[in-house]
């Protein structure tokens, strides 16, 4: 299990982020300047609204320390390649989704470590592990930003090579995601069963509320329906693999997944229960 935590987990996230980067071009980053309003709404929703909503749920339910931190962790993790796929299935604005994913994923090395340090201190108090913002930012750079940059570089230098390896990387990323979620749940099985009745409904309610709020914000801003669907998905869908990886990085456990990983693992399953009805609705409308 220690090999799974210390080697397989970070490498898996790196592969997932590489699969994201291999599908990006430099124009995806530049596009945000041409669509500032849509990008600003999506960005602010992900960085501010999602953690705020998670904080309200955590304090309302009175979740204990590690579980509360784990719940907050998933709210800090932008959706990644999953939101691009769901947006495409929902017939949303894929270009906007890709641009939001690209920029927010890169900026997460600045936002996530600060938010993680705050959550650990706030909810675990005297039991809080030491969290170095600088070390966590560097670790995130190595397993998220750097793989994205490598993928973008491959796409820029050799589009044909990128086209050949992108499907393989996407399939591998999906398989690794499933393995990580299953392992995290299995490693905390007893705790999972004890808290499922609380975690499951809470995560589903949060996911559902965020997708509806994202849709409402886009509508209030006068964005087109295709764009509004994308903002809804980008607001409501988070990166469960990154949440599990963050839990491993800050818990310091070398054997088994910590309790902090459990909300992200459960969310890795429940997000599809919420997203699929939205996709069906969005495709019809």
- Which domains are delineated in the chain? 2-284 (1.20.1530.20)
pLDDT at 4: 60
Give the whole-number percent of the chain exceeding pLDDT 70. 93
Q: Is 110 left (phi over 0), alpha (psi -120 to 50) or beta?
A: alpha
More confident residue, 206 or 12: 206
Q: Which residues contact 192 (CB under 8 A, 6 or more apart)?
A: 185, 262, 265, 266
pLDDT range class, residue 191, cuts 50, 70, 90: low
What SS3 state is found at 238?
Answer: strand
Q: Is 252 left (phi over 0), alpha (psi -120 to 50) or beta?
A: left
Calculate helix-pair angle for 65-75, 240-251, nearest 10 degrees. Answer: 140
Q: Is 112 left (phi over 0), alpha (psi -120 to 50) or beta?
A: alpha
In the predicted model, is pLDDT for residue 87 greater than 70?
Answer: yes
pLDDT at 15: 82
How many Cα atoms are found within 13 Å in the side-chain-facing hemisphere of 273? 12
pLDDT at 217: 92
In the predicted model, is pLDDT for residue 285 greater than 60?
Answer: yes
Mean pLDDT within 265-274: 85
Helix (H) or strand (E) segment spanning residue 270 = helix 262-284
**DSSP 8-state code for residue 35:** S
Question: CA torsion sign, 95 to 98 to 101 to 102?
Answer: negative
What CA–CA distance (Å, rounded) separates 91 from 285?
Answer: 9
pLDDT range class, residue 188, cuts 50, 70, 90: low
Beta bridge partners of 78: 238
pLDDT at 253: 62
**48-52, 83-87, 149-153, 182-186, range with greatest mean pLDDT:** 48-52
| Lookup result for tokens 């409904």 | 201
pLDDT at 38: 85
Query: Mind listing the pLDDT tens digit for each residue in 71-84?
Result: 999 999 887 778 88
Strands of 24-162, DSSP E: none
Q: What does pLDDT average to over the chain?
A: 84
Is 85 in contact with 276 (CB distance < 8 Å)? no
pLDDT range class, residue 66, cuts 50, 70, 90: confident
What CA–CA distance (Å, rounded) separates 172 from 158?
Answer: 21
Is 47 in contact with 70 (CB distance < 8 Å)? no
**DSSP 8-state code for residue 129:** P
Short-list 233, 200, 206, 276, CA closest to 50: 206
pLDDT at 228: 92
Mean pLDDT within 182-193: 70
Query: pTM of the full predicted structure?
Result: 0.83
**16-25, 145-154, 177-186, range with greatest mean pLDDT:** 145-154
Neighbours of 175 (CB within 10 A): 12
Query: Mind listing the pLDDT tens digit for each residue in 210-265?
Result: 999 999 999 999 999 989 999 999 999 988 888 888 888 887 665 666 788 888 88
Q: Is 258 left (phi over 0), alpha (psi -120 to 50) or beta?
A: beta
pLDDT range class, residue 42, cuts 50, 70, 90: confident
Is 112 in contact with 76 (CB distance < 8 Å)? yes
What CA–CA distance (Å, rounded) separates 45 from 124?
Answer: 26
């Amino acid at each position: 299990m220690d090999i799974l935590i210390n080697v397989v987990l970070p490498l898996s996230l790196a592969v997932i982020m590489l699969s994201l980067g291999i599908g990006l071009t430099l124009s995806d980053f530049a596009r945000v300047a041409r669509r500032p309003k849509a990008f600003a709404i999506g960005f602010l929703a992900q960085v501010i609204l999602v953690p705020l909503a998670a904080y309200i749920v955590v304090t309302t339910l009175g979740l204990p320390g590690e579980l509360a931190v784990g719940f907050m962790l998933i709210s800090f993790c932008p959706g990644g390649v999953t939101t691009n796929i769901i947006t495409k299935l929902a017939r949303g604005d894929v270009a906007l989704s890709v641009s939001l994913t690209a920029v927010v994923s890169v900026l997460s090395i600045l936002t996530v470590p600060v938010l993680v340090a705050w959550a650990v201190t706030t909810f675990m108090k005297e039991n809080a592990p030491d969290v170095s913002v600088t070390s966590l930012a560097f670790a995130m750079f190595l397993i998220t930003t750097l793989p994205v940059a490598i993928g973008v570089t491959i796409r820029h230098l050799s589009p044909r090579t990128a086209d050949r390896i992108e499907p393989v990387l996407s399939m591998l990323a999906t398989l690794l995601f499933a393995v990580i979620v299953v392992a995290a749940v299995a490693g905390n099985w007893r705790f999972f069963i004890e808290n499922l009745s609380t975690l499951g409904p809470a995560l589903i309610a949060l996911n559902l509320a965020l997708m509806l709020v994202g849709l409402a914000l886009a509508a209030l801003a006068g964005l087109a329906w295709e764009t509004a669907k994308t903002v809804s998905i980008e607001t409501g869908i988070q990166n469960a693999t990154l949440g599990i990886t963050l839990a491993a990085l800050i818990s310091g456990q070398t054997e088994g997944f910590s309790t902090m990983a459990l909300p992200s693992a459960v969310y890795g399953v429940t997000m599809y229960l919420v997203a699929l009805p939205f996709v069906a609705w969005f495709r019809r409308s």
